Structure 1
Amino acid sequence: MPSPAPIILNVNDDLASRYVTSRVLSLAGFQVLEAGTGSETLTLANESTDLVILDVRLPDMSGLEVCRRLKASPRTRNALVLHLSAQAVGAADRAQGLEHGADAYLVAPVDPEELVAQVHALLRLRRAEREVRVLSDQVQQQRRLLDLAMSAAADPIALYDGDGLLIFANQAVAASRGSHHVHVPGRSMDALRQQDPQLEPYAKALEAARRTGQVQRGQVTLSSDHGPRHFEYTMSPAAGPTGAVEAVIATGRDITELRNAEDFREQFLGILGHDLRNPLNALSMSAQQLQRQGEMTDRQKVFTERILTSADRMERMIRQLLDFARARLGAGLPVVRSRCDLFDVVRGAVEESRASHPHREVMLDVRGDGRGAWDADRLEQVVGNLVSNALKFSPPESPVRLSAEGLEQEAVLRVHNLGTPIPPEQLPHLFAAWRRAGRSDREQGVSAGLGLGLYITEQIVRAHGGSVQVSSTETRGTTFTVRLPRG
């Protein structure tokens, strides 16, 4: 169904001039209403009015005053105003009109083509401003939901900026310690440590998270109104586009009591991440589309960039919460089976990796029949995790090789890379959610998402009734082998 034509209110006390302007606009496809006085204009204009073409000199009041009232009224403040005058034609007149709120100023007589082009440009501006306004409202709503959800969380949650300044602490932080509570937003970690020396190990962990960009975990004993309490904490740093840590979210768990509260917390965080991520993705894509369309004013560009920046920041926070929840749940990941081709999934992952790593060689060999009853989206995660892992931990000049083979009862996927092998003592713990073993040299400088990625990979494969194994030696390199029954 086509959109209705924009509504334009043409205001001019000169009948001949008003007729000519209305005729030009009508032929251009606009709905045109007419008014001859300022008071009539204020009566006719409403929420549906897209543009008011307003003569500066009217018999009952100045067009400048009419413009001011239109912009001040909640009913008409979003209507665009184009001053069109044959008498107030000086630079000072034009400047005064714009200062009173007009969006554009033309001197009559004006060429019909120029008038129509100017009207189209202003209406594009109005549509863009509306879209930006809607997107901004959505960002604020999502931010409110995130703040509300974090504030209502059962366990302590604190958020620090890149300098270690506390910017958020939920109610559970204060409730866990009562009158001993010192976590007040606006205080630095040094100030908190001076007020409560028991926070020393916690403060050191925060500093390590900020400095290294690595997840930090530990335990601390703190005083409370109910005596000493023992807390287990996780600090998850979030890096910005430059790689510098911009925020650290700290989540705590009282391991003295209430151990059973863990399941509720993890389910809650999982729902939080899922429900907020989808609208945020749509929000980011819409803002990016606005940027690609071009023809935006500096003001619109600022609004659009602000939306993208806020959405990116929220996405990083949600990703930290969601990763933490998935690592702890341990109930397996759901799969939705349908007929699909594993080879197509693998080819897509290879093409994506080649595009994102143009200087790396990614080789693929397929044999047999790759069709089966699997969850294609989940298999994309498996292949993506393994290929990303192989690229990350192999020399830049070495190839990453994938082979997919369709056997009679199953399909087999192998991902191979050269480079430093995985230490033998790490192999039994490689697919654990949070490995207890010490980190190897292979993992230095890599985000803690590695353990989570392999954990999720195994959970997906298991949900398909399959298995995933790894072999790693100095001479043969590292190979992950996934076996998937056809279902």
Structure 2
Amino acid sequence: MNPQEPGLQEGSHARPAASQALRLLVVDDSRSDRLMAARVLRRAFPGCVLEEVEDEARWRQVLCGPRFDAAIIDYRLPWADGMELLQSIQRRWPGVPVLMLSGTVEETQAFEAVQEGLQEYLPKTDGSYALLPRSVRFALERARQRQALVEANETLRLVIEGVRGHAIFLVDAEGRVLTWNSGAEAITGYSEEEVLGQFVRPLLVPESSRSERLGREAEEAVRRGVYTGEGWRLRKDGGRFWADISVSALHGEGNTPRGFVVVLRDVTERKQAEEERRRASEFRERLLGIVSHDLRSPLQAILLQSQLLPRDVRPEPVKRATSRISQAAERMGRMIADLLDFTRGRLGGGIPVERVPGDFLLLVREVTEELRLAHPHRRISFVATGEGQGEWDRDRLTQVVQNLVSNALKHGVEDSPVRVEAWGEGDPVVLSIHNEGRPIPSELMPHLFDPFWRGGGSGSSDRLSTGLGLGLYIVQEIVHAHGGTIHVTSNAEEGTCFTVRLPRHPSVAARGQGPV
């Protein structure tokens, strides 16, 4: 007999709160068997609410009531058998563990009931009643674990479903789609109904990359546990997108692969940015070639002819004209060199340096002497102390000293000296260049080393604005390439001072740079 069951009430599937008493249901038409079960259960679970059902009418009433935490049922009842009761409880209160305590059930019937979800079968013996509380505890714990697993799986499903920026899906060992989240639909254009059970590679992988059903991604995932890489993938409309790909292997018994978790992320914008950078790099190389060859070659020819022409002509106006040509050509040469250094520094990852052993203090002395000859009407003092041996790029550091001293000469008061000091009494070595004169305005200090910034403005000489404004930028790049630092102070009382600190060896420079 299968009695008609009442309809489900709202909230009937909810478990009682942890603070509520344990609710147990005992269904048995034998009064003595019910009493025996109730006695051991109340003793084992003090304070529990125990409901006893002896007939069909009471059974119908119980089914309309609140949920129980566990049920103990007999197999053979006047109004139904144990299988019917088990199914009724499962429909009414999903997840409630059910135990069967019977003296009439056969082994095949008990096995069938276990397959249908019965937690445990116990024969009606004195020993079984003694074991009943333990069996109930085990059943409650298994139910709690199952519920926790269900909730965890539901939480995971909701999280995966809510990740729209990533396509996350499962495929079986053959590559057929088992799950498909909303992110996968958003990225690929395929709905879940369209892809479930389909082979994933023909859907998403371009023909040129479709070498086999699972491909190297799955092979590496099986071998290493996870595959990560990038590649072109297809959308439903045939459009391609560059995907960041992760494939994780799922293993079954005997460590055999039973499927894969695939995560795809559309990184087409990043790929396009990389292509733009690559094209910019190619353009930079072409630009360097044009500047260094196509412009320098005719400029060198002009410079050479302007130097030869005064030897063959005597009139003073011609000599003055050729002198101006030569000076202009030299200035253009310096500008071209600055442009090349700027391009290397800004677009090429820094100005390259080639270190060789040498004496930094001697280098500074030689450059200072050259500048004294070039500016005979200005006073340039030089003081060196200590020892200057190290590994330097001589040509690049010559640029540093020339730029900083020339800058001090331009900005300093003409009748005051420019002081050049260098000392090497430890590591790093230090270079200091000082001039007196109008201080650098505080609002301009943060921009001193910016490219194309020139020290013009109110109170500045026109001579300060004749270059490209790359001198201090290049100085800073060369200093940084040596692993060093450059610092400037400027005020009305003490004047302006640039201080450069350079480590003697590359290893010291590397340690000072830190993580990128």
Q: TM-score, normalised by structure 2?
A: 0.38
Of the two structures, which has the highest relative contact order with CA contacts closer than 8 Å and spacing of 6 or more?
1
When Rg is computed on C-alpha atoms for both structures, the one with the higher figure is: 2
